[in-house]
Structure 1
Amino acid sequence: MRNGLSLGDTAVVEAIVTEEMFAQFEGVIVHPAYSTVSMVYHMEWAARKLILPYLEEQEEGVGGAVSLKHLGMATLGSNIRIEATVIELTPDRVLAKVEVRHGDRVIGLGEVKQIILTKQLIQEKLTPRVL
């Protein structure tokens, strides 16, 4: 990774809750509210935005871990704000604290770990081995 990313750096994703973000399984809506699955997606996206400007051409970030507490609800049309903050940083790992807000309310808290690997190594791991 290029130099420049620092502890305390932040990245933000803002979204408006749509029907596609509702809690659902196999197309059946469980309840018309922002789902935990959508929250994980947005948390990972905010954390990824932290590293994108610093990745070298031959590098990529891969998910290493996600933890979250889904604390509150947001309904159709709600504005949500997801903010990721770097809390740990090594040359090949970035850990971000992530907070999800609906207005003044915190509706989600968690962490996202990303591991920085070369694209070549990722491809090698994805290529089936012939025995």
Structure 2
Amino acid sequence: MTAGNGLRPGLVGHSEIVIDDTHLTTHVGGRGVFSTPSMIYLMETTAHDSVEQHLEPGTTTVGFEINVRHLAPAEPGQRVVVTTHLREVDGRRLLFDVACRRDDTLIGTGTHRRTVVRARD
């Protein structure tokens, strides 16, 4: 099994959300702030979605590593944008650069690795 003919470094993915109560951690007090797990979830799903249409039929990707720094807060009602860049394709393994921004502020950055697997029926 290979990664698929359409997978090439340079593929870009984008997603955005407006932060609501489901994206918050509240242990810091107040109404809460955008949680690191929510940011990571958006990074992973954006990477997945960016390559899915380029895969061979009957395959999908699963994440197996993420290395992220959460650099700044975001509050309820603010819009965050996640961007992923496919940096490397090595057989079935994919390496992405991931970033999350609130307006012009970088709030999260890192790398994410996925591998191509057979999809379950």
Tell me the TM-score normalized by structure 2.
Answer: 0.89
Report the secondary structure of 1:3's partner residue: coil
Give 1:78 shift.
Answer: 0.5
Distance in 2 (CA, whole Å) between partners of 1:6 and 1:119 is 21
Distance in 1 (CA, whole Å) between partners of 2:99 and 2:82 is 6
Residue ranges of structure 1 left out of the alignment (5+ in a row): 24-28, 124-131
Question: Where does residue 7 of structure 1 map in the other structure?
Answer: 9
Question: Where does residue 19 of structure 2 map in the other structure?
Answer: 17
Residue ranges of structure 2 left out of the alignment (5+ in a row): none
In structure 1, what residue type is equivalent to 2:114? Q
CA-atom RMSD in angstroms: 1.5
Alignment size in residue pairs: 116
Are the aligned partners of 2:6 and 2:55 in contact in 1 as well (CA < 8 Å)? no
Question: Where does residue 87 of structure 1 map in the other structure?
Answer: 87
In structure 2, what residue type is equivalent to 1:35? S
Give 1:30 shift.
Answer: 1.3
Tell me the TM-score normalized by structure 1.
Answer: 0.82
Are the aligned partners of 2:5 and 2:55 in contact in 1 as well (CA < 8 Å)? no
Question: Where does residue 78 of structure 1 map in the other structure?
Answer: 78
Report the secondary structure of 2:13's partner residue: strand
Give the fraction of aligned pairs with identical amino acids, expressed as a percent.
26
In structure 1, which of residues 20, 30, 33 is the aligned counterpart of residue 27 of structure 2? 30
Report the secondary structure of 2:10's partner residue: coil
Distance in 2 (CA, whole Å) between partners of 1:5 and 1:92 is 10
Task: Flag the structure with more relative contact order, 1 or 2, with Cα contacts below 8 A and sequence separation at least 6.
Answer: 2
Q: Which has the larger radius of gyration?
A: 1
Offset from partner CA, 1:63-106 (integer Å, 9 cap, x none): 11011000000001101000000111123011100010000000
Distance in 2 (CA, whole Å) between partners of 1:62 and 1:41 is 13
In structure 2, what residue type is equivalent to 1:8? G
In structure 2, what residue type is equivalent to 1:20? T
> After TM superposition, which residue ranges in structure 1, 4 or more long, deviate above 3 angstroms?
none
Q: Which has the higher helix share?
A: 1
Question: Where does residue 96 of structure 2 map in the other structure?
Answer: 96
